Amino acid sequence: MPHRSGLTERAVAERALDILDAEGLEGLSVRALARSLGVAPMSIYTYFADRDAILDGVAQLLYAQVEAPTDPRLGPADTVRAIMRSVRQVLHCHPHAVPLVATYPPRTLDALAFVESGYRSFINAGVDPETTARAYRALVAYSIGTAEVEINRYFDDHPAAQPAGSLDAPTLERHTPNISLVGPHLSALDDAEEFEYGLSLLIDGLVPSSA
């Protein structure tokens, strides 16, 4: 009888995602995952070759959650904008997964669905495959970069915004006056607004006839 424990690769990956959300990447150990599933640690290796394969599996689950617009009348710019927003939303629901998405590209059919939709909107609009590939690459980099800075709150404790760090405000003002000047504005920026701002710059440049 196969799967005496009732487990499947998918069920293991889904539990892994639960643990990742609750405990973070360090808390997602093979042993903790097995404990949560009520099996011996080594049973996990029936479904995944090693811990990295589990993390890859979690990434595939999240890629599958990305929604792509289905309306074929939508142009490539609007389609890609909707996909990018969906990616951002999924990652905001699973912030600890950002490093995984930065590491493991979509691989399964479900995970690749949104990529196919994005490509289709470009190709159907007459964009050539190479331009499509370049646009996809730039947009992936933008997704990952913005997600990293957002979930790590990269600009929150920026010097001059948070003078409680190792450098005090007078020292900063003397050595880096422009950081003192710009810092407060940096930490006041709105995540969603800045995401849209940079995204528009990219889309306007990447999509040949953005209409």
Partner DNA sequence: ACCTGAACACCGTTCAAGT
Single out the segment in contact with its own copies by CB under 8 A; choices: 16-24, 28-36, 72-80, 167-175.
Answer: 167-175
Nearer to DNA, 31 or 185 (CB): 31
By beta-carbon proximity to its own copies, the closer residue of 37 and 101 is: 101
Which of 11, 32, 113, 179 is close enough to bind DNA by CB under 7 A? 32
Listed in sequence order, the residues at least 6 apart from 109 whose beta carbon sits closer than 8 Å to its beta carbon are none
Amino acid at 36: S
Within 10 angstroms of residue 135's Cβ, the number of other Cβ atoms is 22
Interface of this chain with DNA, residues 70 to 89, rule: CB under 7 A: none
Residue with tokens 């080594």: 42
- The span from the CA of 118 to the CA of 34, in Å, is 37
Q: Is 158 helix (H, G, I), strand (E, B) or coil?
A: coil
User: Is 95 in contact with 151 (CB distance < 8 Å)?
Assistant: yes
Binding residues for DNA, how many (CB under 7 A)? 22
- Tell me how crowded residue 38 is: count the other CB atoms within 10 A of its CB: 10
CA atoms within 13 Å, Cβ hemisphere of 206? 25
Type of residue at 199: L
Find the part of the chain contacting its own copies (CB under 8 A) among 12-20, 36-44, 75-83, 180-188: 180-188
Structure-token pair, residue 195: 């995401």
Angle at 51 between CA 33 and CA 96, to 5 degrees: 70
Q: From the list its own copies, DNA, none, which binds 10 (C-beta under 5 to 8 Å, kind-based)? A: none
Q: Is 63 in the site for its own copies (CB under 8 A)?
A: no
Residue 144 touches which of DNA, its own copies, none (CB < 5 to 8 A by kind)? its own copies
The binding site for DNA (CB under 7 A) comprises 2-7, 28-32, 39-43, 45-47, 50-52
The binding site for its own copies (CB under 8 A) comprises 99, 102-103, 105-109, 112-113, 115-116, 119-120, 123, 129-130, 132-134, 136-138, 140-146, 148-149, 152, 154-155, 157-159, 165-167, 171, 175-179, 181-183, 185-186, 188-189, 194, 197-198, 201-202, 204-206
